[in-house]
Amino acid sequence: MNFQLLLRRRGIVDHAVLKAMDEVPREDFVEPITRDDAYADVALPIACGQTISQPFVVAYMTEQLQLRRYHRVLEIGTGSGYQAAVLSHLAAEVVTVERYRTLADRARLRLRRLARDNVEVLTADGFDLPDELGLFDRVMVTAAMEEVPESLKERLTKDGVLLAPVGPDGGVQVLMRIRRRAPDSAADSASQGFATEELLEVRFVPALKGIARQL
């Protein structure tokens, strides 16, 4: 089946997202042994015990971010680099963080070969990000968290959006969309908060704290 048709049948309607999915060669981001299944709508194993999400989930999460060309995006959990590559076609800048150095190094090489110059790959702890990274218009977490840390929500600009799978390790999580509300007026900063919406049941590998000592 045509890749775009598969995604359309699953409910993806954003033309920019469909175009980005079509332009990123997914076969470059999977392991050689699974290359024949690169465009199947399934998650596939990659190094360090991690996975590359199924195409529908990648497209759905990207669509739900409601990206604009001027947005600065943070991704927690680089993995193969595939999601970051898709995001790079839709945003001005993508900073993606990976705790496994092997995955970060491989993703950086893949993205460089594809000339995705607006992506920066960092080996870092997604739960303890450097202050100098600043704020982001959009944040995407691609690993399961039992709860979203306040420190990560605080990375959002006003009216920024965060997506994260929230739930137990090894079980079903719920994809949550959290939007940072702007104050009603400059004098009403107390009205600023976070609006949370449940989107979809998903399954992701767990988000772990710290930088991996090996791999």
Catalytic residues: 53
Contact indicator for 196, 176 with CB cutoff of 8 Å: yes
Where helices occur in the chain by DSSP H, the ranges are 3-9, 15-23, 55-64, 82-88, 101-113, 150-153
CA–CA gap between residue 2 and residue 204 (Å, rounded): 26
CA–CA gap between residue 74 and residue 4 (Å, rounded): 26
CA–CA gap between residue 148 and residue 174 (Å, rounded): 12
Contact indicator for 82, 29 with CB cutoff of 8 Å: yes
